[in-house]
A and B are shown apart, each in its own frame.
Chain A
Amino acid sequence: MNPVKLTDTPFLKKLQMFSFALIGIGAIGTAVAFFTDAQRALAGYVVAFSYVFGLGVTGMFFSALQYAVRAGWSAAVRRIAELFAESIWLIIVGFLPIIFGMKQLFPWAWENPAQWTGGGEGYHGHSLHLIHEKQQDFLNPEFFYVRVVLYILIWVAMYFVIVRNSIKQDNLPNDFRGTRINLKRSAPFIILYALSTTFAGFDLLMSLETTWFSTMFGVYFFSGNFVATLSLVGIILAALQRGGYLKNYLRGEHFHDIGRLMFAFSIFFAYIAFSQYMLIWYSNIPEETEYFLKRINGGWEYFGYFTVFFHFVVPFFLLLRQDVKRKTGFIIVGGLIILTAHFIDLSWVVLPVFSKHLRFGYQEICTFSLMMGLFLFFVASGFRKYSAVAVNDPYIKESLEYSA
Chain B
Amino acid sequence: MSNNQPFAILGNFTDVNVLFHAAEKTRDAGYQDFDIYTPYPVHGLDKAMGVKRTILPHISFWGGIVGLISAVLLMWWTGAVDYKLSIGGKPFFAVEFGMPVMFELTILLTALATFFALWGLCKLPRWYNELQHDAGFQRATDDQFVMAIFSTDQRFSTENTRKFLSEIGADDVRSVNSGAI
Contacts and interface: CB of A to CB of B under 8 A. Distances in A.
Given A320-B61, A322-B57, A403 B43 contact: yes
A322 B99 CA distance: 27
B96 A278 contact: yes
Interface residues of B, number: 11
A212 interface: no
Contacts of B88: 284
Contacts of B40: none
B99 A278 contact: yes
A274 B61 contact: no
A338 to B, nearest CB: 21
Contacts of A284: 88
A144 B99 CA distance: 38
A318 B61 CA distance: 14
A315 B91 CA distance: 31
A247 B43 CA distance: 21
Contacts of B53: 322
A282 interface: yes
A321 B60 CA distance: 12
B100 interface: yes
A143 interface: no
B100 A278 contact: yes
Interface residues of A, number: 10
A281 interface: yes
B97 A282 contact: yes
B125 interface: no
B96 A282 contact: yes
Nearest to A402: B43
A306 interface: no
Interface string B37-73: 0000001100000000100010001000000000000
Interface in B127-166: none
B49 to A, nearest CB: 15
A282 B53 CA distance: 44
A256 to B, nearest CB: 13
Contacts of B100: 278
B59 to A, nearest CB: 14
Contacts of B57: 321-322
16 contacts: A274-B99, A277-B96, A278-B96, A278-B97, A278-B99, A278-B100, A281-B96, A281-B97, A282-B96, A282-B97, A284-B88, A320-B61, A321-B57, A322-B57, A403-B43, A403-B44
7 nearest CB pairs, A to B: A403-B43, A281-B96, A278-B96, A403-B44, A274-B99, A282-B97, A278-B99
Given A274-B99, A278-B99, A284-B88, 15 more contacts: A277-B96, A278-B96, A278-B97, A278-B100, A281-B96, A281-B97, A282-B90, A282-B96, A282-B97, A320-B61, A321-B57, A322-B53, A322-B57, A403-B43, A403-B44
